[in-house]
A and B are shown apart, each in its own frame.
Chain A
Amino acid sequence: MSAITLSTSQGKFKIPHYPIDMVGIEERAASFTKRSIKNSSKLEALYLAIEMTDLTTLEGADTVGRVKSLCAKAISPVSAEYLPLLEKKALPAIPHVGAVCVYPAMVKTAAKCLQGTGIHLASVATSFPSGQLDLSMRLKEVRKCVADGADEIDMVISRGQFLQGNYQVVFDEIRAVKEACGETAHLKVILETGELKTYDKVRLASWMAMEAGADFIKTSTGKVQPAATLPVTLVMLQAIWDFYQETGKKIGMKPAGGIRTAKQAIQYLVMVNEVLGEDWLTPDLFRFGASTLLNDILRQIFKQATGQYFYQDIFSLD
């Protein structure tokens, strides 16, 4: 794979070939799982993880009722009756999550629920998850979501075009979607790493997305296996770092799908810490795309507070 040349209205530029060694990157990713994060470090990581969670529902069966429930959970992850347990140990209250993520049809409902809460509203768009739809219709969808109240757009790249080698098309599409987001919505670009397959391609797609104006790059839709993994996220974090060195721009990262336990979430935070540093340990630059994760984090917090593992049932499903 030689350098890719892309053109913009300002002229041409190259994205150089940047090879990734599979065995090496997987070893490095695995090394983060050996960090032992305990006590105060663990607690801070858990709270941080809640603030970074994009609480997500993306099912064909989503209804107004389902979304309202999710928003309630997003605002107040634990019911008030358990808060005294935290106060006893001088632990802060459970924060609200970073964002709620829904399908375009549900944006209006969610916007109403989240009004004034400070929680961001992310909508998937561009014919999520496949992206297989005429560009004009995808852009129309984006504009509608923004108009309905979404302040974050999670788009998918055209993997078919990418794998065919039509990189200019992929690049231009991302730029068009970014424009459609306007001034009020930030753009996350989903690479669907499970379909790109090789780390080399993930690196290329990451760089392309950042050059095209992505505010965040995101691993997956969650509809294809494998979704987020530590090594694929590591590739993207390293791309973010190199991009920052080159342009001074800090781009955010969102691994999505497959992160179900607090333990895993902490491993990701360790990785962000050691690859990008403290500056990225904020919901403004890092998010988890997850649903069941939240309850496991709560379970861990309450275990630290009380010394006991609670039933899963204590924490409402949504």
Chain B
Amino acid sequence: MSKKMEARSLARKGKALSPPIKSSSVKKTKAKTSVPTKKTRDQKRTRAFTQYAPAPESSKVVTLKEKYDHYINGEFVAPSSKTYMDSINPATGKVLAKVAVGNQKDVDLAVAAARAAYNNVWSKMPASERSKYLFRIARILQERAREFAVLESMDGGKPIKESRDVDIPLAAQHFFYYAGWADKLEFAFPGKKLRPLGVCGQIIPWNFPLLMAAWKLAPALATGNTVVLKPAEQTSLTALLLCEVLEEAGLPPGVVNIVTGAGATGDALVKHPDVNKIAFTGSTDIGKLIARNVANSTKKLTLELGGKSANIVFEDAALDQAVEGVINGIYFNQGHVCCAGSRLLVEECIHDVFIKKLKKRMETLRVGDPLDKNTDVGAINSKEQWLKIKELIEIGKKEGGDFYEVSTDAPTQGYFQKPCLFTGVSNSHTIARTEIFGPVLTVLTFRTPDEAILKANDTPYGLAAGIWSEKGSKIHKVASSLRAGVIWANTYNKFDAASPFGGMKESGHGREGGLQGLFPYLEIE
């Protein structure tokens, strides 16, 4: 409180200004006087507000089964091997349920069901009818949104705020969007007729479990294909809950089949001779493995793989909004995002100002229970991933980058990593080249737009990039020079069913979303 204000305040009360009181530092030290002054009492009270009392989303809306079987031909079918694996809540380390482990037999059964459904039902159905099934699925997903959001956070560790406001609404939108294409395929390619491929095998990752299922199922079904889907072994629960929605929508049996399991299950699906197309989203390493496996076949393939995307901030950017974009780019979903802006390329002349703002903003991120509505950064998806991130952080420190981690509290139980960053990083550092897939930002600098473009492109990946500048022509110039499939100018991590998404170079090939998202599932006659 300034002297002048104090004088005024006391004058109001008819008192004189007393000798100056040494003010104690506001933040974390205890009051030195034994009698609580108004100031210390106010600090305590203010703290009660600023620490935000727990605001948990109730998990009562979710009913978990003890164990989950495969979903084949419209029924839940026990795994042939009678084996199940644990699905763990990474925020607590506890087992949520057991999930079937699929083997070759199970995959064979599922593919056969998909083939039969394709031949006898789905390929014969008028397109407008297919459309209606997808509309129904979208609607029911909207109705059961809360249930799905809570389950997604429990299974994968992402904050309820994200699963509620991003994952589930986007998943519903995907079904809505592709429902509308089903009976309009004649507009998709001028003068040509389009045919579905048949049976599609789809393997999805653990970072956006339900959303990735929607991204895969919606276009495949809209274009007339049937599907065998293999969710990630860490996060199968929302895909399995989706089966209830498919049933409620009356989707004919066999059109969608879900076989759970780990690498071997996916492998069996990839190699199955009666599958016409494979779609995979996941790590670049596995993607290359799959590509090798289908090379000697007629199977069509789309891959959506990793990235080490550059978020480029120019001096003429709207700085505070750029800070938001960088934060969102790397800490959204704990950095478990293929298109995460994991490299910050900041123009050297604003480096210090920008990093100062960035660090200040980072300190307001709340790390904690995924089911707490105020949590910004949730749990790392699995112990395995948590160890990987820790390892790479150690490498980063050894390589000589300056490490900074937020001072906010994080839970001691479960797998958590506080948002952090490395400054003084160069493009040759491991942490600047390897995808960390965690809330770890690497910061590099550049001097000119050309240098920014060079550095941004200096990676085998090519998924996304961010450009922050208030100068339109610069944005267009830089964007058209970047080798990345998705460019976000003055924004980041925006997704929409109408917007095609996918990578260049080793980030994969094929697009999901929009008109272009139809082509991977169609044959042009």
Contacts and interface: CB of A to CB of B under 8 A. Distances in A.
Interface of A: 18-21, 23-25, 27-28, 34-45, 47-48, 114, 116-120, 151, 183-186, 238, 245, 269, 273-274, 278-279, 281-282, 284
A92 B324 CA distance: 38
A119 B13 CA distance: 9
B12 A117 contact: yes
Interface stretch (B51-59, B186-194, B243-251, B451-459): B51-59
Interface in B310-345: 316-321, 324-325
B364 interface: yes
Interface in B130-184: 161, 165
A242 to B, nearest CB: 9
A44 B43 CA distance: 11
B26 A20 contact: no
Contacts of A274: 364
B11 A238 contact: no
B75 to A, nearest CB: 40
Interface stretch (B2-10, B386-394, B427-435, B478-486): B2-10
A309 to B, nearest CB: 20
Given A119-B12, A184-B11, A40 B320 contact: no
A38 B490 contact: no
B325 A24 contact: yes
A183 B318 contact: no
Interface string B1-43: 1101101110111100000000000110000000000000011
Contacts of B374: 35-36
Nearest to A279: B26
Nearest to B54: A38
A238 B320 contact: yes
B12 A41 contact: no
A37 B53 contact: yes
Given A23-B490, A24-B318, A120 B1 contact: no
Nearest to B47: A278
Given A21-B490, A25-B320, A35-B374, A120 B52 contact: no
A117 B13 CA distance: 6
Contacts of B296: none
21 contacts: A20-B321, A23-B491, A24-B321, A24-B324, A24-B490, A24-B491, A25-B321, A28-B321, A36-B55, A37-B53, A37-B55, A41-B52, A43-B48, A116-B12, A120-B12, A151-B8, A183-B4, A184-B7, A184-B8, A278-B43, A279-B26
Given A24-B325, A44-B48, A39 B12 contact: no
B45 A48 contact: yes
Contacts of A245: 356
A20 B50 CA distance: 27
Contacts, number: 109
Contacts of A118: 9, 12-13
Nearest to B360: A241
Identify the 6 closest CB pairs spanning chains A and B, nearest first.
A24-B321, A36-B55, A36-B373, A44-B49, A21-B318, A21-B321
B12 A48 contact: no
A279 B2 CA distance: 13
A151 B4 CA distance: 11
Nearest to A199: B318
Nearest to B365: A274
| Residue in A19, A114, A117, A284 with the greatest tally of chain B CB atoms within 10 Å | A19
Nearest to B470: A19
B297 interface: no
A233 to B, nearest CB: 14
Contacts of A284: 1-2, 5
B361 to A, nearest CB: 9
Contacts of A38: 53-55
A42 B51 CA distance: 11
Given A19-B316, A19-B470, A184-B11, 13 more contacts: A34-B165, A36-B55, A40-B48, A41-B51, A42-B53, A44-B48, A45-B49, A116-B14, A117-B13, A151-B8, A151-B12, A238-B320, A278-B47
B165 A27 contact: no
Nearest to A39: B53
B318 A19 contact: yes
B413 interface: no
Contacts of B53: 37-42
Contacts of A23: 490-491
Contacts of B4: 183, 186
B46 interface: yes
Contacts of A282: 1, 42, 46
A38 to B, nearest CB: 5
Contacts of B317: 19
B373 A116 contact: no
Contacts of B356: 245
Contacts of A116: 12-14
A2 to B, nearest CB: 12
Nearest to A184: B8
A278 B364 contact: no
A269 to B, nearest CB: 7
B49 A41 contact: yes
Interface string B45-77: 111111111110000000000000000000000
A281 B318 contact: no
Contact of A273 (B27, B42, B49): B49
A278 B26 contact: yes
A116 B13 CA distance: 5
A289 B321 CA distance: 27
B58 to A, nearest CB: 12
B355 to A, nearest CB: 13
Contacts of B1: 282, 284
A186 B9 CA distance: 11
| Residue in B55, B318, B470 with the greatest tally of chain A CB atoms within 10 Å | B318
Contacts of A34: 161, 165, 373
A269 B52 CA distance: 12
Contacts of B42: 282
B509 to A, nearest CB: 31
A150 B320 CA distance: 37
B499 to A, nearest CB: 15
B167 to A, nearest CB: 15
Contact of B49 (A25, A151, A184, A269): A269
A81 to B, nearest CB: 26
A273 B318 contact: no
Contacts of A41: 48-53
A284 B42 CA distance: 12
A24 B489 CA distance: 11
B400 to A, nearest CB: 29
Interface in B221-244: none
A44 B52 CA distance: 10
Contacts of A39: 53
A117 B12 CA distance: 7
A20 B373 contact: no
Contacts of A47: 45
Contacts of A24: 318, 320-321, 324-325, 490-491
